Amino acid sequence: MKLGFFTANYLDKPLEEVLDRVVALGYEAVELPAFKGSSHFDVDRALNEPDYVKKIKRMVSERGLFISALSNHPEGQLVLGPHGIDTDGIYKGTPEEKIAYGTERMIKTAQAANALEVGVVCGFIGCENFGRFFPWPYSKGWEEMEAKFVERWGKILDKFEEYGVKFAHEPHPNELVYDVYTAERSLKLMADKKAWGFNFDPANLIYLGIDVVNFIQAVGPKIYHVHAKDGEIVAHNVQRDGLIPTGPWSRITRGFRFRIPGWGSVPWKRVITELALVGYDYVLSYEHEDVTMSREDGETKTAAFLKPLLIRAPYEGRRDILFQ
């Protein structure tokens, strides 16, 4: 396992500056945001300017780093929705236009990853109405959304396979695949799509009351990428504010908030152990969404906490009489 860094919250700084910073702190890989407007990676240039791709690759490799994945969450969300005002900030249009645009952008992202020789694209698949997890008022709603998922994403995944790139969906609120059960459902629905897999971010599961390690046991080899983000079930608030509260992240009475690794409720040693047991030997990519401290606090504390915990090699066995 290696420690990675998702650069999305440093889009206000040039990529080179971010890479310098990151490598000095001990990070070993980066994940680059590839959605429209990202200052760190421009999909369109990558598809049209061979030199651009070379430049990015060199910029990363000459610092001893590598790119673990491209990320494109917003444009994937358009494929299943919600449409209407909720996604106008990403792309404005009718539902049909949003679907078409999202589909095209995701395929281009895969193409760009291929050009860059990066094997994984992380992102979201979207969800028309997340409230349908509950059967009232429309008990057939979820099932119908599954059918659309198969239809719309099936095509995209075929393209991914064509480009030799895996798609790692990140289970998350407001996504059709958001927990262990829906992840297993998706594996059945997409049984024939090799490109389909997951970007496992434990912070997105822990507020559900799930022991996140079960996710790893359940889908094992389909984990293509991992986010090192923590989620805090805020002990002194949760019994009053609950696990799925509304309101801004900075509200001090929140029952749940995202944190840097080690400051939330994710059991990191158990997560790392189980990842090792299912044979995951890739990157844990850190993303700062912790509203209680600065980015600098976060990146320093995370490297110090997480890097020594990464398991570097599997057990070699033991042959003495005490332990056959």
Among residue numbers 59 through 118, which ones bind a copy of itself (CB under 8 A)? 73-74, 77, 82, 85-87, 89-90
Question: Could you tell me how many residues of this chain bind a copy of itself (CB under 8 A)?
Answer: 103
Q: Does 17 bind a copy of itself (CB under 8 A)?
A: no
Strand partners, 120: 166
Q: Which is nearer to a copy of itself, 64 or 247 (CB)?
A: 247
Q: Does 26 bind a copy of itself (CB under 8 A)?
A: no
Among residue numbers 257 through 276, which ones bind a copy of itself (CB under 8 A)? 262-263, 267, 269-270, 273-274, 276
Q: Does 44 bind a copy of itself (CB under 8 A)?
A: no
Strand partners, 84: none
Show the binding pattern over residues 204-233: x = contacts a copy of itself (CB under 8 A), - = does not: -x--xxxx-xx--xx--------------x
Indicate which single residue of 64, 188, 191, 323 sits in contact with a copy of itself (rule: CB under 8 A).
Answer: 323
Q: Distance between alpha carbon 221 and the CA centroid of its chain, in Å? A: 16
CB of 175 to a copy of itself, least distance (A): 9
Phi, psi angles (nearest 5°) of residue 7: -85, 5
Q: Does 134 bind a copy of itself (CB under 8 A)?
A: yes
Phi, psi angles (nearest 5°) of residue 68: -80, -30
Q: Are residues 6 and 299 in contact, defined by beta-carbon separation less than 8 angstroms?
A: no
Q: Does 319 bind a copy of itself (CB under 8 A)?
A: yes
Strand ranges (DSSP E) for the chain?
A: 2-6, 29-33, 66-72, 120-123, 166-169, 196-200, 223-228, 230-233, 256-259, 283-286
Query: In the 8-state DSSP scheme, what is residue 87?
Result: G
